[in-house]
Amino acid sequence: MVRQLEKKPTGIVGFDEITGGGLPAGRPSLICGGAGAGKTLFSIEFIIRGALQYKEPGVILTFEEKATDLETNVASLGFNLKKLQKDKLVWIDHIHVDRSEIAETGEYDLDGLFIRLGYAIDSIGAKRVMLDTIENLFSGLSNEGILRAELRRLFTWLKDKGVTTIITGEKGINTLTRQGLEEYVSDCVLLLEHRVINQISTRLLRVVKYRGSVHGTNEYPFLIDEQGISVLPVTSLRLDNEVSSQRVSSGIPTLDAMLSGSGFFRGSSILISGTAGTGKTSIAAYFADASCKRKERCLYFAFEESPRQIVRNMKSIGIDLQKHEDAGLLKIQSSRPTLQGLELHLLTIHKLVKQFKPRTVILDPITNLVTIGSMSEVKSMLIRLIDFLQVEKITVLFTALVYEKDNTVQTDEGVSSLVDAWILVRDIEANGERNRGIYIMKSRGMQHSNRVREFVITDTGLELVDVYLGPKGILVGSAREAEQLNEVTGVELRTHALSFKDRVLERKKTVLEAKIASLREEFESMQDDLNKTFREEELTNAIMEKNRQQAGNKSKPGKSNYGKS
């Protein structure tokens, strides 16, 4: 069985993910970079988080700043170095090195440093060591042979002590460090850079080398704020995320009806694009409101309006976002895109998502990000954001401003092909009016309406109504209302006409029935007369027959009663 390299976690958000566990245990690591890149802060956080989170005491040996200066500098991050020293979790020692006192001889060595550092390590049982900065230690040496030998002695001594060491070094002109030697004897080398492009600063971290371990080789943006350092790892490019068949409402019932009646898939990405003033933010606010009503947290990133402005404006269409903020279900993070670079915006979103744990994220609008980066850079940033949120099973909604030119809609920031659902809202001008039409351009994995609906914003909210197709095309606004009035009038006229016709038919039916009754009565009278004549004839014949029979009986011969007498 192959033995894996043991690593010590730094506790720095994102960095341990990049390196697969942290820094190499029991080995020296070098952090190099220019002034203000964050070398000292990275190293101190490694020591402090090791002491607090992993119960590994640490030694801070500094050749520049005194202990009191370090305590003040890290207090803004919430770290109490005085208490850590009192609890014997951290040992801080400052060594002043005067270049004029260093004699460059073949007998130059670091035995005094080893004794002092060894005492500090043994005093608190340190497992981690920080040396800041190594240039000050060798600042008076110009003999490369002596310098290389002493560097190897220092690194070997630290390995023999079994401590995980982090050493800072200033970046050289054409080398990672000023001496150009430290990176070769270090087991792990990190390069921190602070770049300013188009007046926007971005801090980047790169793992230059890591002996015995697989590691990320890209440049990773990192953020320094009141909670320390946060590193943004680049998400995986493999499209193997799990998907959900659960549906979430858009908050607009008529829009849900266009999406096969159930809304969007949970964990999907949605784009609402349209020209200025078409109601993109209103749709986003309804989506946030629906999420909060489901008792699910929503994180809203606004790049144009302040949180109070959004809350006020949405009240005009019947949405109370303030109650969701008060309940802790909604968090509106508002800032201008130029506050920081694209990578730091992405890092900020990562960090807030991890902290707030929302089920829905809204970015309104992504178009403003073009002011701090090219179209390809914005697309790259949004791709990584979509991948990250899909892994977290978070539904994300973007709004984007599009422009109409020559009756065609100019494309968005290149994400329309990446998102799962794309809804376009645009102006429809007719009869001297400006109205809104809404289209579902695509919605992956579900049946959806292909009809154009009129998008109406009222005091009571948002509504999608059917448009009318007239001889000259789509009818919206007052033209639609006029057509509806014509339809209502036509219905009334047809109803009145049908009613009048029914009355005429009823009268004709009554007259006809009267005639039929009269004819039936006449027929029955004639029938009675015929029957009467027939019965009289039969009766006459019967009487005559009877009389004939009686007459015949009288004429027959027989005995006479007179003879007896």
Task: Give the bridge partners for 507, in sequence order.
Answer: none
What is the pLDDT at residue 180?
A: 59
Low-confidence ranges of the chain (pLDDT < 50): 1, 101-107, 237, 406, 408, 560-565
Give CA separation, 179 vs 140, 148, 167, in Å: 12, 9, 14
User: Which string of DSSP letters, residue by residue, matches 391-420?
Assistant: HTT-EEEEEEE--EETTEEPP-SS-TTTSS
- The token pair at 124 is 């608190």
pLDDT score of 106:
43
Nearest alpha-carbon partner for 410 in 276, 259, 270? 276
**Residue-wise pLDDT tens digits, 469-526:** 555 555 555 666 666 667 667 666 677 777 777 778 888 888 888 888 888 888 888 8
pLDDT of residue 404: 65
pLDDT tens-digit series, residues 393-440: 999 999 998 876 545 455 555 678 888 999 999 887 766 677 888 889
Q: Which residues of 353-363 are buried (b: 16+ CB within 10 A; e: fewer)?
A: beeeebbbbbb
Residue type, 38: G
Query: CA neighbours within 13 Å on the CB side: how many for 38?
Result: 24
Contact status, residue 286 vs residue 252, Cβ threshold 8 Å = yes
DSSP-assigned letters across all residues of 129-145: EEEE-HHHHTTT---HH
Q: Kindly give the interhelix angle for 307-315 and 280-293, rounded to the nearest 10 degrees.
A: 90
* Predicted TM-score (pTM) above 0.75: no
- Residue 412, pLDDT score: 55
Which residue type, as a one-letter code, is found at position 75? A
**DSSP secondary structure letter of residue 339:** G
pLDDT of residue 102: 46
Q: Are 247 and 267 in contact (CB under 8 A)?
A: no
Alpha helices in 144-200 (DSSP H): 144-161, 182-185
Written as six digits, the tokens of 391 are 């892994």
Determine the pLDDT at residue 294: 93
Task: Give dist(CA 544, CA 82) in Å, integer.
Answer: 154
